[in-house]
């Protein structure tokens, strides 16, 4: 049971980290794009 859990964790954790990393990068990129577009809008007006 413990071995099965360890196997599952060692398989699942890298995938979870990858998913969280992708979400983090996506949010970060979204915020940068948002702030740039706000700066451009503020520059135009």
- Distance, CA of 19 to CA of 38 (rounded, Å): 28
Average pLDDT in the 7-23 region?
87
Across the chain, how many H-helices and E-strands are there? 1, 0
Task: Give tens-digit pLDDT for 20-35.
Answer: 999 999 999 999 999 9
pTM: 0.55
Q: What is the per-residue pLDDT for 1? A: 58
> In sequence order, what DSSP letters do the residues of 13-40 get, joined into one string?
HHHHHHHHHHHHHHHHHHHHHHHHHHHH
């Amino acid at each position: 049971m413990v071995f099965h859990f360890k196997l599952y964790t060692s398989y699942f954790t890298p995938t979870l980290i990858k998913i969280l990393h992708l979400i983090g990068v996506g949010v970060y990129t979204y915020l940068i794009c948002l702030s740039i577009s706000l700066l451009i809008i503020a520059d135009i007006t």
